[in-house]
Chain A
Amino acid sequence: MPVETRIMPRYEREPARRVFAAELREASHHFKDGEDEKSPTYVLLPTGERCNRVLFIGSMTHKEKRGEQNIFYSVRVADPTGTFFVNASQYQQEAMTQVSKIEPPAFVAVVGKPNVYEAPDGRVFVSVRAESVTVVDREMRNCWVLDAAEQTLRRIEAYGRTPDSTRAQERYNVDMAVYKRMAYDALTQIAI
């Protein structure tokens, strides 16, 4: 039910972006919107959109329990373009419980927050902190590939016409044809 807006500003949930693994891997630039401690952080997608949450559906290919005192799961999920690196720790209790019950290979839908890590040697990694990992079927995976291709194309078509994409242009300077090709290739890989 509605929360009184005058007293409490309505909290607007961040949408979950549909991003292929090959694009998310390149999203090395991250920023905070606002000065507040609680201001949301975003990674900037090379196709020019800020992203605080992602949704992807792919095959869980690998699951590993790590840590001694602070146990967490490290999971790999493949889409037609590459691999997502997913973590679920005790801070994501629900996701961790879900992951513990899934045996790869399995089609999974992952909702989570992207994080950028810089290794000591300067290499940059993007991983996803899972909020939820649910087992789905091949048909939902195919639906997602369509969805992700469509949304990637939407971002490419807006490229150069939004503040975020201007920012992406400065940061990454990538030819959009690369991502168009990526989306096209992903679509050709889903068997009907």
Chain B
Amino acid sequence: MNVEIDAALAEKRLRTLVEEFGVNLPEAEKTVVENLAKEHNLAAVPSQSSDLREIGTLLPGEWATIEGKVVGLSRPVSAAISQSGIIADESGAIQFTAWARANAPRLAEGESYRLESVVVDEYRGVPKLNFHAGTTITKIEKDILYLPQTTKVADLRPGVASVRVKMVQEWEARHDRILQTGIAGDESGTVRFTIWKEEGVERLEPETVYNIFYATVDEYQGRLSITLNGAKCFPDEEGEITVGTGAMTATGVIVNVGTGSGLVKRCPVEGCNRVLSKRNYCPVHEVQNDFKYDLRIKAVLDDGVKAHNILMQKDVVEATTGLTLDEAVKMVQESPLGLDDIVYRLRDAIMGRYYTCRGNDLGDTLLIKECTPLGFDPDRHTALLNRLGGEIDAS
């Protein structure tokens, strides 16, 4: 049922009808859509009727008429968009985008509207409503009842969702448009969250439980993350959640020991702990000569199908490589090449060797809690011989 439509082609046809042949826009749209449907062997464009639909049942590719309440507005990411936000009814919620070209009236948060002839689109796996020139928007007086259903983190899918989570970890923002990014989670697992800088948005407090209504759930390279701009976040001071660890195990060979491994200096300012540059410069607190030393390994554990980024902290590094923080500090103090020597020693200790690593999935890195070296397994050898030998005899 899903077909790819060439947007440029559709636009060209629309322009031809409207600009060259003077067809009015709604009629032109209808014609173009019907032709496209015919070309793709679709009997008709689904649900082009004015029957009222429930938001929770909308599918990409449909045209629909809905009634809903605007529950959140977010700053448009582009000048081509006049407004974007989230609209909900009792069945669910969906993001909407009003293109500047569509000249749609601006919607107000907390108000209910009837939207006729909106298009359900899909962007990076997330269903979205698009308003276009043929969309009719009417403010309605009846208050749409909506009761946001809370989704467990492990059950999140791209789209819009409400969650009850605890903020467990804050990450260094790598872009100046980001106000805050980190990890939040519930009993079922954890998810990355991002808040983009925008007037009126607030940061989440660590270790605090929030009821978050209508967050946008995105998927990128198989990884989900939630964006809180446009969502409503209510702290629950009394709330407590034991966050699921996102525990993960991977077995493979260390195929890379990356930059940033070895002995590092950390910023001593309370709560900072950032890694200092060679000249003891902290990106936030400037020169800090009273630093703390730390030992870590950033490496790649490769199972032949996937390369996992892993991070080992001091205790795991010491247990796995046999090099202690104290010895490493001594190496640096005794030799000007000490820093490099430490990296080589760590590398030579773990590269090309098999390990089973248990840890927590931080999104794109596995934080290792336990790293077990693997040896030759005679049982696996025998089993594999049987599998291969048996099949050869049979064939």
Using CB atoms and an 8 Å cutoff, list the residues of chain A in contact with chain B.
Answer: 1-7, 9-10, 12-18, 53, 55, 57, 108-111, 131-132, 134-136, 139-140, 142-144, 146-147, 149-151, 153, 177, 180-181, 183-184, 187-188, 190, 192
From known contacts A5-B220, A111-B256, A184-B385, infer whether A140 and B352 are also in contact, taking CB-CB under 8 Å.
Answer: yes
Residues of B contacting A146 in the complex (Cβ-Cβ under 8 angstroms): 376-377, 380-381, 384
Decide if B69 is an interface residue (CB 8 Å cutoff): no
From known contacts A55-B304, A181-B392, A184-B392, infer whether A134 and B385 are also in contact, taking CB-CB under 8 Å.
Answer: no
Q: Are A2 and B364 neighbours in the complex by a CB distance under 8 Å?
A: yes
Residues of B contacting A109 in the complex (Cβ-Cβ under 8 angstroms): 253, 351-353
Residues of A contacting B178 in the complex (Cβ-Cβ under 8 angstroms): 4
Residues of A contacting B225 in the complex (Cβ-Cβ under 8 angstroms): 5
Decide if B347 is an interface residue (CB 8 Å cutoff): yes
Q: Are A3 and B174 neighbours in the complex by a CB distance under 8 Å?
A: yes
Q: Are A143 and B375 neighbours in the complex by a CB distance under 8 Å?
A: yes
Q: Considering the complex, give the chain A residue whose CB is closest to the CB of B375.
A: A139
> Which of B221, B306, B389 contacts A15, CB < 8 Å?
B306
A192 to chain B, nearest CB (A): 6
Q: Considering the complex, give the chain A residue whose CB is closest to the CB of B363.
A: A2
Q: Are A139 and B376 neighbours in the complex by a CB distance under 8 Å?
A: yes
Decide if B374 is an interface residue (CB 8 Å cutoff): yes
Q: Are B377 and A14 neighbours in the complex by a CB distance under 8 Å?
A: no
Q: CA A111 – CA B253 in complex, angstroms?
A: 10
A73 to chain B, nearest CB (A): 17
B100 to chain A, nearest CB (A): 22
> Which of A13, A134, A142 contacts B351, CB < 8 Å?
A134
Q: Are B304 and A15 neighbours in the complex by a CB distance under 8 Å?
A: yes
Decide if B378 is an interface residue (CB 8 Å cutoff): yes
Residues of A contacting B375 in the complex (Cβ-Cβ under 8 angstroms): 139, 143
Residues of B contacting A181 in the complex (Cβ-Cβ under 8 angstroms): 392
Q: Are A7 and B381 neighbours in the complex by a CB distance under 8 Å?
A: no
Q: Considering the complex, give the chain B residue whose CB is closest to the CB of A5.
A: B220
User: What is the size, in residues, of chain B's interface with A at 8 Å between Cβ atoms?
Assistant: 49
> Which of B181, B304, B362, B378 contacts A4, CB < 8 Å?
B181
Q: CA A134 – CA B395 in complex, angstroms?
A: 39
Decide if B354 is an interface residue (CB 8 Å cutoff): yes
Using CB atoms and an 8 Å cutoff, list the residues of chain B in contact with chain A.
Answer: 171-175, 178, 181, 192, 194, 220-221, 223, 225, 253, 255-256, 300, 302-307, 309, 347-348, 351-354, 362-365, 374-378, 380-381, 384-385, 387-389, 391-392, 395
Q: Are B348 and A18 neighbours in the complex by a CB distance under 8 Å?
A: no
Residues of B contacting A3 in the complex (Cβ-Cβ under 8 angstroms): 174, 364
Most-contacted residue by chain A among B174, B302, B304 (CB, 10 A):
B304
Q: CA A183 – CA B385 in complex, angstroms?
A: 9
Q: CA A8 – CA B99 in complex, angstroms?
A: 25
Q: Considering the complex, give the chain A residue whose CB is closest to the CB of B300.
A: A13
Q: Are A111 and B352 neighbours in the complex by a CB distance under 8 Å?
A: yes
> Which of A16, A140, A177 contacts B255, CB < 8 Å?
A16
Q: Are A16 and B307 neighbours in the complex by a CB distance under 8 Å?
A: yes
B183 to chain A, nearest CB (A): 10
Q: CA A144 – CA B364 in complex, angstroms?
A: 26
From known contacts A16-B304, A153-B388, infer whether A140 and B175 are also in contact, taking CB-CB under 8 Å.
Answer: no
Q: Are B348 and A135 neighbours in the complex by a CB distance under 8 Å?
A: yes
From known contacts A55-B302, A134-B352, A136-B353, infer whether A180 and B253 are also in contact, taking CB-CB under 8 Å.
Answer: no
Q: Are B175 and A15 neighbours in the complex by a CB distance under 8 Å?
A: no
Q: Are A143 and B374 neighbours in the complex by a CB distance under 8 Å?
A: yes
From known contacts A1-B172, A109-B352, A192-B381, infer whether A15 and B303 are also in contact, taking CB-CB under 8 Å.
Answer: yes
Q: Considering the complex, give the chain B residue whose CB is closest to the CB of A133.
A: B352
> Which of B255, B300, B347, B384 contacts A153, CB < 8 Å?
B384
Q: CA A177 – CA B381 in complex, angstroms?
A: 19
> Which of B172, B304, B388 contacts A151, CB < 8 Å?
B304
Q: Are A55 and B253 neighbours in the complex by a CB distance under 8 Å?
A: yes
> Which of B171, B255, B395 contacts A2, CB < 8 Å?
B171
